[in-house]
Amino acid sequence: MTAISSPRDKYNAVWIIFFILGLGSLLPWNFFMTATMYFTSRLKDPPANQTSNQTVDGRDTRNVLEATFNNVMTLCAMVPLLIFTCLNSFIHQRIPQKLRITGSLAVILVVFLLTALLVKVYVAPLPFFTLTMIKIVFINSFGAVLQGSLFGLAGILPASYTTPIMSGQGLAGTFAAFSMICALATGSDLRDSAFGYFITACFVILIAIISYLTLPRMEFFQYYMESSTSRPSGEKKNKTDFLKKESPDEKQPVVSLMEDDGKPGVTVLRIFSKIWVMAVSVCFIFTVTIGIFPAVTVEVKSTVANGGWDTYFIPVSCFLLFNLMDWAGRSLTAFCMRPGKDSKWLPVLVALRVVFVPLFMLCNVQPRHYLPVLFAHDAWYMVFMILFSFSNGYLASLCMCYGPTKVSQHEAETAGAIMAFFMSLGLALGAAISFLFRAII
């Protein structure tokens, strides 16, 4: 089969399905992350007679659960994400793709239904904190399997089909932030609002499940799936695992340290040697991003004398603005992919993002003990957030798209899985150093 004979993606149906799956893969985590006001409100020591971020004479008056919620939440999300993204490479051949994707979505759906039900049930602060962290671990563990499977699947299709996954993930954050703002705007009780958008998340996950189940019926998708499994006799097999290949009878997968042509070497290392710049770049991008967002950025306080704006400052300037510009950056790669995959400017631009760490630390983060406030006005914070989030989305999407294109077609799925692993590694590293960044402010 040749590229000339490949069928068209009619009505961009496969592209749209991958977009919806990208949306469903990150929407649960984004809803948890943007619901911090709801979660911290339930962690107050009774009687709740002070705001969750109140300070007195520069001292943090929150209890330990409230003060550490954002950092612990990020850590409980990113560590399982890293571990299960790595494990996903080993379960590729043992667990069918359909079960991995639909099963992960189903578990996430059940966890969200439980979260919605708990909105209406009183739970003491410590058990509530524990339950919330357990749910975050479950969501990100199964989300890692889902995300790794999606990027591996996209690696089989043309390079442009990584873009809808990245764009859908960007929209997930925007959708979650916008839902939270709408909930606040209704003026209803915080718990009632939380119940509404947790149920909304359940509805989106259901749509993602239905969309995936229709994917195998698409002629365009069938063509590339068949192309990845039916090869000329002399062509190497498509690796969907880091270290595995099929045994001679092609019935049971076995671990091997040999290439198909009999030469020594581990497949993953050979593929990594071709894409290491993209892999390390995407890792660094998310290390910087998660190190600052949301652990530090959510603690910035508005200096504008407007009581109503105080309520919307973090939902709008932090969550909505970040996710909106991140989505814009991810989506732009569908029309513009510069610098090129071999350009030295790409890793340079990635490295320059480290400047956002001190910039946000010097904003009006409260409480603070060591660093001065140099950028107190809200406008500084919003400008930094626009550049920070847009560069995150655009550069990360470029790296994820370029990775599989730097290897042969039969290595593309493995390259996609490696890129997903390094993205998760960056998220986990960022979660770990977020404690340090917050502590030195």
Q: Are 282 and 272 in contact (CB under 8 A)?
A: no
3 falls within a domain: no
The neighbour count for residue 393, using CB atoms within 10 Å, is: 28
Domain extent for 199: 10-439
Q: Are 257 and 40 in contact (CB under 8 A)?
A: no
Please tell me whether residue 246 adopts helix, strand or coil conformation: strand
- Indicate left, alpha or beta for 57 from its phi (over 0: left) and psi (-120 to 50: alpha): left
For the record, the structure tokens of 264 come out as 């020594």
Domain count across the chain:
1
102 falls within a domain: yes
1 falls within a domain: no
Alpha-carbon span 131 to 124, nearest angstrom: 11
Task: Outline where 293-377 has alpha helix (H).
Answer: 307-313, 321-332, 345-352, 356-361
- Buried-state track 349-367, b at ≥16 Cβ within 10 A, e below 16: bbeebeebbebbbbbbbeb
4 falls within a domain: no
Alpha-carbon span 79 to 77, nearest angstrom: 6
2 falls within a domain: no
Identify the pLDDT of residue 376: 93
User: Could you tell me which of 395, 286, 399, 396 has the C-alpha nearest to residue 341?
Assistant: 399
Alpha-carbon span 315 to 338, nearest angstrom: 31
Q: What kind and span of H or E run contains 245? A: strand 244-246
Alpha-carbon span 375 to 367, nearest angstrom: 15
Q: State the amino acid at position 198 in one-letter form.
A: F
Helices and strands: H and E segment counts in the chain: 15, 4
Identify the pLDDT of residue 76: 87
117 falls within a domain: yes
For the record, the structure tokens of 309 come out as 């704006």
Q: Are 173 and 30 in contact (CB under 8 A)?
A: yes
304 falls within a domain: yes
Q: State the amino acid at position 269 in one-letter form.
A: L
- Looking at residue 188, which CATH number applies to its domain? 1.20.1250.20
Alpha-carbon span 295 to 42, nearest angstrom: 19
pLDDT in tens, the chain (441 residues): 444 567 888 889 999 999 999 998 888 878 877 777 788 888 886 654 444 445 544 445 568 888 888 778 877 887 888 888 888 766 666 788 888 899 999 999 999 999 999 998 999 999 999 999 999 999 989 998 898 888 888 878 887 888 899 899 889 888 888 877 887 777 767 787 778 778 888 998 999 999 999 998 899 998 888 876 654 434 444 433 433 443 444 443 333 333 444 443 457 788 889 999 999 999 999 999 999 998 899 899 999 877 778 888 988 999 899 989 999 999 898 888 889 989 999 999 999 999 999 999 999 999 899 999 999 999 999 999 999 999 999 999 999 999 988 988 778 777 888 888 898 899 889 888 988 998 999
User: Could you tell me which of 347, 356, 324 has the C-alpha nearest to residue 430?
Assistant: 356
Q: Are 333 and 163 in contact (CB under 8 A)?
A: yes
Please tell me whether residue 254 adopts helix, strand or coil conformation: strand
The neighbour count for residue 131, using CB atoms within 10 Å, is: 14
Helices 190-214 and 97-119 pack at an angle, to 10 degrees, of 160
The neighbour count for residue 232, using CB atoms within 10 Å, is: 5
User: In the chain, what's the furthest Cα-to-Cα distance?
Assistant: 75
Q: Are 116 and 31 in contact (CB under 8 A)?
A: no
88 falls within a domain: yes
Tokens 């498509």 sit on residue:
238
